Amino acid sequence: MNDSRPTLGSPALPRWQRILVNLPGIGLAALWGLGEATFFFIIPDVFLSLVAVLQWPRTGRHVLSAIAGALLGGALLFHWAAADHQKALAAIARVPFIRERMLTEVDEGFQTQGLYALLWGSLQGIPYKLYAVQAPQYTRASNFLQATAPARAVRFLLVWGAFGWIAGQLRRRFALRTGHLLLIYSVVWIAVYAFYWGRILSG
């Protein structure tokens, strides 16, 4: 079955959109999840919300793929940090917008909340990669990875679902086309990152 088939009364998706909502996009979601869990600094939510705007809810596999990529990235970083914590930490510290105070928050989270810190950190904007690099000091790899899946899934699903639902409402109630929705999508993420990066740089 072709998941990119249009809904009743809607035009077929342009080629670039079909690419993103089908297998190549699923692969990109996995790579994005892997990259952000290690050395990339743009969260997978940006891509997951894009495919949700294009075609929701048929892009749920993208969310699963991003979670799988994050698990792989978390496992790689955990084992590197377990073998050579200082070198792994130094590498992560060079990622843009990583700040030393974030590391303090990660350690405090592990000490007070245990593995639940992964969830709260995700919702508060603390990069997952910092939890992966500090986790060997607090838990085993199996426990960390078991906590990673639900911690990543909560925010990924919330963002993906919110963008998809809102896009659907705007299409039905105001007859907005995909081009208009993509403009709104772009403005939202520019505003989110302007605020987030501004807060980090001024902190």
Which pLDDT band holds residue 3 (cuts at 50, 70, 90)?
very low
- pLDDT the model gives residue 12: 77
pLDDT tens, position by position, 105-147: 999 999 999 999 999 999 999 999 999 999 999 999 999 999 9
The rounded distance, in Å, linking the Cα atoms of 50 and 13 is 14
Name the percent of the chain lying above pLDDT 70: 94
pLDDT tens, position by position, 7-54: 433 457 899 999 999 999 999 999 999 999 999 999 999 999 999 999
pLDDT tens, position by position, 64-78: 999 999 999 999 999
Instruction: Please answer whether residues 78 and 37 qualify as being in contact, where contact means their C-beta atoms are separated by less than 8 angstroms.
Output: no
pLDDT tens, position by position, 144-199: 999 999 999 999 999 999 999 999 999 999 999 999 999 999 999 999 999 999 99
pLDDT higher than 50, residue 2: no
Write down the domain spans for the chain: 15-202
CA 10 to centroid of chain Cα atoms? 29
DSSP labels for 14-46? PHHHHHHHSHHHHHHHHHHHHHHHHT--S-THH
- pLDDT the model gives residue 11: 56
pLDDT higher than 70, residue 6: no
Among the listed residues 79, 91, 143, the one whose alpha carbon sits nearest the alpha carbon of residue 114: 143
- pLDDT the model gives residue 13: 85
Q: What is the average per-residue pLDDT within 83-91?
A: 98
